[in-house]
Amino acid sequence: MNLEQLEQIAKEGIALAQDAQSLEQWRIQYLGRKSALSLFFNSLSKLSLQERKTQGEKANKIHKLLKNLYIIKKDEIEKGANELNKGSSNFLDITQPGDKKTQGHLHPLTLVSRDIIASFEKMGFSIIEGPEIEKEYYNFDALNIPADHPAREMWDTLWIKPTSKKQKSKTLLRTHTSPMQVRFMEKNQPPFRIIVPGRCFRYEATDSSHEIQFYQIEGLMVGEDINLSNFKAIISEIIKDIFKDNVSVRFRPSFFPFVSPGVEVDIRQELKGDKSNNNWLEIMGAGMVHPALFKRVGYENNRWQGFAFGLGVERIAMIKYKIDDIRLFFNPDIRFLEQF
Ligand code: PHE
């Protein structure tokens, strides 16, 4: 058989191959170690130099051609097999990369809230919840903030549209958790100690330290001889427990209409060997409950004293996890959330 004939027969043969098995047979026959072409290459050495060159070149060309035909045909058959299989219900494409299962986890604010709540629970505080949609009365008036009081400006408010003209009291999204002080005292007699975790809302422009929504934990402890020193001791202990680490606490005089005297609490993380850190961060407003509140809820005159505070959960989380922008908490960016 000469080379031309061989090429012809091989071409006809591959055209007939319909599946992987017949193609493999073809490959063994025309490209395998015992194929006519291989035997021909082996016998080249017996030819004269001139013959060897011309015949060798010819054979090489045919070999290349057959190899290419083989690759193309193989591809065709494989693709065809996949197409056929895809239609059937039990097709499993084992070449697909697997689905990576990611496990969800708690939001950093949930983690921090749980830590803070657990600390207060250890100190005997009960956990109470209140409504996010609040009456104007509880959010402001009952807290010594009448309509014309300048302190109302501290809480830019999101008001809720009245549902009817008959609705007497206005409603709003609570601007702090303090309304629960009065709500709780109306129904309960001292002594008690409670915390009220919850979401608050303010109508303000957002920036790296202000959000339109945020979480507070309100605290209220009332008894016969509760004083500001008790507050300082409890809060210092709680902060130590939350941070498990070196933090300094600072109390500054401040003003809130529903406490007297009022204070603000700042904390600062003490970095080892670094005395230069002067970054105090305000984490809560607090003070001794104003006697007018006790009077409003009908408590016996001059018998009770107590402290109240409102702690910013985001602030604690920002310090604890070194987050520099409050807006990240409410932004569903998985790259941020995955750090916790
Ligand atoms: N409600 C105040 C605020 O949102 C904080 C506060 C709570 C102050 C309790 C005093 C007592 O800023």
Contacts of 246 (CB under 8 A, 6+ apart): 269, 270, 272
- Short-list 159, 179, 180, 177, CA closest to 169: 159
CA 176 / ligand 1 centre spacing (Å): 7
CA 160 / ligand 1 centre spacing (Å): 22
DSSP state of 323: -
Residue with structure tokens 């409102």? 310
Q: Look at 97-106, 136-145, 321-330 and tell me which has the smallest mean pLDDT.
A: 97-106
CB 217 within 8 A of CB 113: yes
> Region 209-227: what's the mean pLDDT?
95
Alpha-carbon Rg for the chain, nearest whole angstrom, is 40
Q: What atom in ligand 1 is closest to the CA of residue 181? A: 9
pLDDT-derived band at 245, boundaries 50, 70, 90: confident
pLDDT of residue 272: 66
- One-letter amino acid at 296 equals R
3-state secondary structure of 201: strand
CA 284 / ligand 1 centre spacing (Å): 7
> Region 33-53: what's the mean pLDDT?
89
**Residue nearest atom 10 in ligand 1 by C-alpha distance:** 286
Q: Look at 96-100, 186-190, 267-271 and tell me which has the smallest mean pLDDT.
A: 267-271
CB 30 within 8 A of CB 66: yes
Does 139 contact ligand 1 (Cβ within 6 A)?
no
Question: Tens digit of pLDDT for each residue in 146-187?
Answer: 888 876 776 689 999 988 888 778 899 999 999 999 999 999
Q: Look at 222-226, 271-275, 318-322 and tell me which has the smallest mean pLDDT.
A: 271-275
CB 281 within 8 A of CB 311: no
- Short-list 309, 313, 331, CA closest to 206: 331
Q: Look at 56-70, 115-129, 158-172 and tell me which has the smallest mean pLDDT.
A: 158-172
